[in-house]
Amino acid sequence: MGPNSIVATYDGTAMHRQGSSFHEGHKVINDPIHGHIKLDNSTVEFIDTVQFQRLRDLKQLGAAYFVFPGGSHNRFEHSIGVSHLAGTLIERFEKEQPELEIREEEIRCVKLAGLCHDLGHGPFSHVFDNEFMPNARPGFHWTHEQASEMMLEYLIDDNNIDIDSEHTNLIKDLIAGTPRSQSKYHDRGFLFDIVANKTNSVDVDKFDYIERDAQNLGLRSSYDAKRLLLYSRVVNNEICYHHKEVYNLYEMFHTRYSLFKRIYTHRVGKAIELMITDALLAADPYLKIADAVDSPEAYLNLTDDILRTIERSKSDELAPARGIMKRLRKRQLYKFVDEILVPPHLLDTITTKVITPQEIANHQSANDHLRTEDVIVSRGKVNYAMQDRNPVDSIRFFSKHNDNESFTIPKHHVSYMIPTQFQEVVIRVFTRNPNKVDAVQRAFRRALESICGYVSPNDDRVKCDLPLKRSLATALD
């Protein structure tokens, strides 16, 4: 028996000819969250650009990666996951609800909106949005959503992608979650519920990042996004859910709240965010970081790697920023001092306009030698994604007996264990000088006592249970 009779010889031409139809029109990737994902050629055309590949260099969890080593995933894979879920949902609607007359270009644009929704994120994402930019360019209104539109246009133009302006505008509106211009898609409301739902905040963006973040962090989640994808349909031009999924939706919002409470707003993570902000602000006059948002070509190269750029530099102008980064690398972090979970009836009173670094320094003890720059006051909110409202109140449901009519479900018909408050506000105090933690805490509690009239001596946290002092109440009027 000759070798050719037992060993299959490789015929490259034949193999190519036989396999061409199998992968024609798509590529397949193996995603750790969603398994094997098919990417059509239109999606791949966007992925294989420098503008989209930039997302490989932006950590999904930003500064939280410095606290949670498992949070090493990037916005690149999240964006592909959102595109996959968006395509899965709209293609199921097309198949199961032919009366919607979903067009091929709508499917394409929904997938691309999911893919491109995070193109505009800056270094360390929300640190750049909420901390750095407002301080680097006061009064300048900028959001990463605006940058996503800028980078989308740049991606299309720079790579000569064949897509007309009407579809480009649709992608932008799908990312924004609302039709902003008159077009033939203006009355296709359900399309705008898929990627960024502004009505009730249930969208495939959350489906992906909640599951992806939880899995990478080693956390377990009791909510099931796949059921929400399956038990949904379009009724009266909006996406509605089977009534038995109402508790699953509450679980989704509670899981999101838990991630914010435990991970995204972690005390040490917040301290690191403040250090990164200080380093970027110190480097900005020399590196012109904030000016990059005005130019897509400059913004293309602005990623998390900016910290390494600072660390590699030799210029004297960047010495202060390098010093902050050295402290971060050696774990000589800014220190958490204290916090107050603001009672709802005092939200308009206990604010960062009242509790300021200067106000805290004014209440220091003799010989504490506190300076205003020693103190940082931070305000944070954690909620169910719609400020202080219950998002489920805005979700409509259908029943198996009549899936062409929708209705809402009051929370007292679901469980008496569902919260009555859907947002909490916390004011935290940090210090840049680890040796002054005790001094800053004493000063902060004195300042708070002057506002609330009471500080519990038996609790690590400040309690504001008594009425305001008359003098302060008068001053605040």
Q: Helix, strand or coil for residue 161?
A: coil
Instruction: Identify whether 345 is a catalytic site residue.
Output: no
- Residue 304, token pair as written in the block: 């998390």
Q: Find all residues with CB under 8 Å of 270, minimum gap 6, and list them.
A: 336, 378, 380, 428, 430
Q: Find all residues with CB under 8 Å of 377, minimum gap 6, and list them.
A: 352, 355, 356, 357, 360, 427, 428, 429
Contact 217, 345 (CB under 8 A): no
Q: Is 153 exposed, middle or buried (0-12, 13-18, 19+ CB in 10 A)?
A: middle
Q: Using the 8-state DSSP alphabet, how is residue 385 labeled? A: S
Identify residue 409 by its one-letter amino acid code: I
Q: Find all residues with CB under 8 Å of 298, minimum gap 6, and list them.
A: 291, 292
Q: What's the gap between Cα 36 and its chain centre? A: 25
Q: Is 4 exposed, middle or buried (0-12, 13-18, 19+ CB in 10 A)?
A: exposed
Give the active site residue among 73, 78, 144, 242: 144
Q: Find all residues with CB under 8 Å of 276, minimum gap 6, and list them.
A: 63, 123, 124, 127, 307, 328
Identify residue 22 by its one-letter amino acid code: F
Euclidean distance between CA atoms 208 and 228, whole angstroms: 12
- Residue 78, token pair as written in the block: 């999240």
List residues bridging with 242 in a β-sheet: 398
Residues annotated as catalytic (active site), given as ranges: 144
